[in-house]
């Protein structure tokens, strides 16, 4: 049911933890399943994401997608991080079962929430970044559950 990559990131999640005084931190949840994900970014003055950490209180797929998402955004520019969509995360994990697709949305939205916080703190606008939601259940269609 789960790919080897999903199992690997679930069993050995990368970048778990938190960053003190992060450049940006974002928390998103899903009221339907009760899962919560928080992402911390350390971004240098060139706009490059130097370090990423996450904490996820959630299902195995949420842990695996947040772990993979942190690997994908590390070392990238803020703009490139926006291209790390839930589809990109799923592809990097060799797919997720259909009922778990919404878990990857939590990872995408957590990236956006951390970038949004960074933009707010620095009084900048990140082109293409929309204000993230706190509860992704608002975004997910009923039939995806």
Whether the CB-CB separation of 39 and 23 falls below 8 Å is answered with no
d(CA 58, CA 72): 20
Binding mask 15-54 for ligand FES (x = CB under 6 A): ---------------x--x-x-------------------
Closest approach of Cβ 119 to ligand FES, in Å? 25
Catalytic entry in 19, 28, 69, 103: 103
Q: Which of 61, 82, 93, 107 binds ligand FES (CB under 6 A)?
A: 61
The answer to whether residue 58 forms part of the interface with ligand FES (CB under 6 A) is yes
Q: Where are the alpha helices (DSSP H) in 74-100?
A: 78-81, 86-92
Whether the CB-CB separation of 30 and 137 falls below 8 Å is answered with yes
Taking CB under 6 A as the criterion, which residues in 114-133 touch ligand FES?
none
The CA-atom distances, in angstroms, between 10 and each of 3, 57, 83, 96, 98 are 11, 12, 23, 13, 18
Whether the CB-CB separation of 93 and 65 falls below 8 Å is answered with yes
Binding mask 62-81 for ligand FES (x = CB under 6 A): x-------------------
Active site residues: 33, 103
């Amino acid at each position: 049911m789960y790919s080897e990559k999903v199992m690997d990131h679930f069993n050995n999640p990368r970048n778990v933890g938190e960053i003190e005084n992060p450049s940006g931190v974002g928390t998103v949840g899903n009221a339907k399943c009760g899962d919560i994900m928080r992402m911390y970014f350390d971004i240098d003055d060139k706009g490059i994401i130097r370090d990423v950490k996450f904490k996820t209180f959630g299902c195995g797929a949420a842990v695996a997608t947040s772990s993979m998402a942190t690997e994908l955004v590390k070392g990238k520019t803020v703009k490139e991080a926006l291209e790390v969509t839930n589809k990109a995360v799923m592809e990097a994990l060799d797919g997720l079962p259909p009922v778990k697709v919404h878990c990857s949305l939590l990872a995408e939205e957590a990236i956006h929430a951390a970038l949004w916080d960074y933009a707010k703190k620095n009084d900048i606008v990140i082109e293409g970044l929309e204000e993230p939601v706190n509860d992704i259940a608002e975004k997910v269609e009923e039939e995806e559950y």
